[in-house]
Amino acid sequence: MPVYTCTTVQETLGADTKAELAAEITRVHSMINHVPGTYVNVVFHELAPENAYTDGLPAHPLLINGWVRTGHPAAQSSQLVAEVAAAATRVTGIPAKRVLVVIQNSPAHFAIEGGRVLPEPGEEQAWLHEQQGAD
Amino acid sequence: MPVYTCTTVQETLGADTKAELAAEITRVHSMINHVPGTYVNVVFHELAPENAYTDGLPAHPLLINGWVRTGHPAAQSSQLVAEVAAAATRVTGIPAKRVLVVIQNSPAHFAIEGGRVLPEPGEEQAWLHEQQGAD
Amino acid sequence: MPVYTCTTVQETLGADTKAELAAEITRVHSMINHVPGTYVNVVFHELAPENAYTDGLPAHPLLINGWVRTGHPAAQSSQLVAEVAAAATRVTGIPAKRVLVVIQNSPAHFAIEGGRVLPEPGEEQAWLHEQQGAD
């Protein structure tokens, strides 16, 4: 269901670090938002050095943009963004001051996966059960 | 007005398939949301295999993220996401279980095209008429 | 705090133009939304010609997508999108009809930078002061 898009300058993160960060974001999201890891997507965009700026100057930020369904409890969303940000620094070694994590959302019924409209937050179990019945 | 961003691993889609998917998303969006095709943008991001993960493992999803103006009727938005998802599998042959379509939105007055603030949903005709007068 | 993502076909913008556009977006955003330039990120995605379509045909748009915190006054947001769009054409020479600027937002408490949840619009000064105290 969610998609996390991580953007850095090329060669900021090695292949092993990207795999580890993807695994850790997946673990954190799955635990907090009650979604099986099989539904968590993480992608990386790696930019040429001339394609990333902070304060109008070439820079090396780690930008993580997550999309989630609207309607998770506020405390849950706060925990999610905090744990993703903590994981980013823990896994990559990039200091927190260069890490920006933003969570965006839209209604579950504006998204389709596996040919089915996504469940509202809190209704994942019925949706997953129905999916398994269809497999 | 809208922008659809399709993300895959490199070599998942051939050039002809990308062109066909762009044309089909444009046709569907234009028909459902009453926007001329000349205002529909579709872009593709093609990632190295080490840059896409599902469940923390390298994967080959087709992720489609669309941006539209806030305020379309709910039934229209549901139809839009369903038809974009159906078109994605029909055109690419990628099974629905690997296809995720997400529609995000923001208010029309948070967007500018051709130097003009976008029209609210339902007010496209007056906006387009005015534009043609200016050309 | 904000992230602006500029998408074009490869070789549309030279390195100097990208740097100048990044600087100008940073200046405009900083002035209008009361955020120091050191918190403004601008990145560029440059696509192969076969990866960008308008009206289902290969095209050369300049797509600018900005993420900002929810809650800025409406007049401020309108000014922001207008000035970013004007800057895009002024700096790049790309005619307004091929430029689309979209601002998206989510609540400040859905975002973390420097290890801290972002401030609500209007509360930047206290947040920045606290940050400096921590450095």
Q: State the ipTM, two decimals.
A: 0.96
Q: Enumerate residue ranges in chain A where pLDDT < 70.
A: 133-135
Cα B34 from Cα B57, distance rounded (Å): 40
Cα B103 from Cα B67, distance rounded (Å): 6
- C94, pLDDT greater than 80: yes
Distance from CA of C68 to the nearest CA of A (A): 10
CB of A40 within 8 Å of a chain B CB? The answer is yes
Per-residue pLDDT tens digits for C36-46: 999 999 999 99
Model pTM? 0.96
**Per the structure block, which two tokens stand in for B42?**
């579709």
Q: Exposure of C134 by Cβ count < 10 A (0-12 exposed, 13-18 middle, 19+ buried)?
A: exposed
Cα C67 from Cα A102, distance rounded (Å): 9
Give residue A53's pLDDT: 98
Angle at the Cα of C82 from the Cα atoms of C78 and C84, rounded to 5 degrees: 120
Residue B3: closest CA among C103, C10, C130, C122: C103
Which residue matches tokens 């087709």?
B62
Cβ pair C17, C91 in contact under 8 A:
yes
Cβ neighbours of A47 in C, within 8 Å: 43-45
Give residue A131's pLDDT: 76
Sorted by where each begins, the domain ranges of chain A are 3-133
- What angle do the packed helices B15-33 and B74-92 form, to 10 degrees? 160
Give residue A134's pLDDT: 55
Cα C7 from Cα C9, distance rounded (Å): 7
Put simply, the answer to whether C3 touches A81 (Cβ < 8 Å) is: no
CB of A106 within 8 Å of a chain C CB? The answer is no
**Per the structure block, which two tokens stand in for B30?**
């234009």
Question: Touching A: which chains, 3+ CB pairs < 8 A?
Answer: B, C
Give residue C135's pLDDT: 52
Q: What is the mean pLDDT of the segment spanning C11-26? A: 98
Residue C4: closest CA among A42, C17, C15, C28: C28
Give residue A27's pLDDT: 98
Put simply, the answer to whether C47 touches B44 (Cβ < 8 Å) is: yes
Give residue C130's pLDDT: 87
CB of B79 within 8 Å of a chain C CB? The answer is no
- C58, pLDDT greater than 80: yes
- C24, pLDDT greater than 60: yes
CB of C126 within 8 Å of a chain B CB? The answer is no
Cα C113 from Cα C130, distance rounded (Å): 13
User: Residue B64: beta bridge partners?
Assistant: B6, B101
Edge-to-edge, what's the strand order for the sheet holding C52-54?
Answer: A116-117, A111-113, B99-106, B62-69, B3-9, B41-47, C52-54, C57-58
Put simply, the answer to whether C50 touches B18 (Cβ < 8 Å) is: yes
Q: Find the closest chain B residue to A104 by CA distance.
A: B104
Give residue B132's pLDDT: 72
Q: What is the mean pLDDT of each run of 10 residues along chain B (135 residues)?
A: 97 98 98 95 98 98 96 93 98 97 95 96 92 64
Size of interface A-B (CB pairs under 8 A): 101
Residue B92: closest CA among B27, B22, B5: B22
CATH architecture of A3-133: 2-Layer Sandwich (3.30)
Amino acid identity at A20: E
DSSP secondary structure string, B44-94? EEEE-GGGEEETTEE---EEEEEEEETT--HHHHHHHHHHHHHHHHHHH--
**Could you tell me the end-to-end alpha-carbon distance of chain A, in angstroms, rounded to an integer?**
18
Cα B103 from Cα A3, distance rounded (Å): 12
Cα B102 from Cα A70, distance rounded (Å): 12
Query: Could you tell me what percent of chain C has a pLDDT over 70?
Result: 98
Largest CA distance in chain C: 53
- Provide the phi-psi class of B93: left if phi over 0, else alpha when psi is between -120 and 50, else beta: left
